[in-house]
């Protein structure tokens, strides 16, 4: 196994960004995820969504040799 590559982000219009990994984009776009993130943010005082997706990417994806 090789080291994981950092997750790339792509800019969309109006300052929005999307992850450059299809599996990670599916993860963050699944139904109910926005509500779950908002709920946790309210309960904890904030959520860094970009960091959350980057951690998901690092923990779930490995590159084969």
The 10 Å Cβ neighbour count of residue 22 is: 8
Is 3 part of any domain?
no
Residue with token string 């904030």: 46
| Crossing angle (nearest 10°) for helices 49-60 and 22-29 | 130
The total of structural domains in the chain comes to 1
Instruction: Please tell me the pTM assigned to this model.
Output: 0.70
User: Which residue segment(s) compose the domain that 14 sits in?
Assistant: 9-60
Is 65 part of any domain?
no
Give me the half-sphere count of Cα atoms (radius 13 Å) on the Cβ side of residue 38: 4
H/E stretch holding 64 = none
List pLDDT tens digits, range 9-59.
Answer: 999 888 888 888 888 899 889 999 999 999 999 999 898 988 888 888 888
């Amino acid at each position: 196994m090789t080291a994981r590559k950092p997750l790339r982000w792509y800019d969309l219009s109006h300052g929005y960004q999307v992850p450059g990994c299809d599996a990670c984009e599916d993860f963050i776009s699944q139904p109910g995820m926005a509500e779950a993130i908002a709920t946790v943010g309210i309960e904890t005082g904030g959520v860094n969504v970009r960091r959350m997706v980057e951690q998901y990417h690092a923990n779930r994806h490995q590159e084969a040799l």
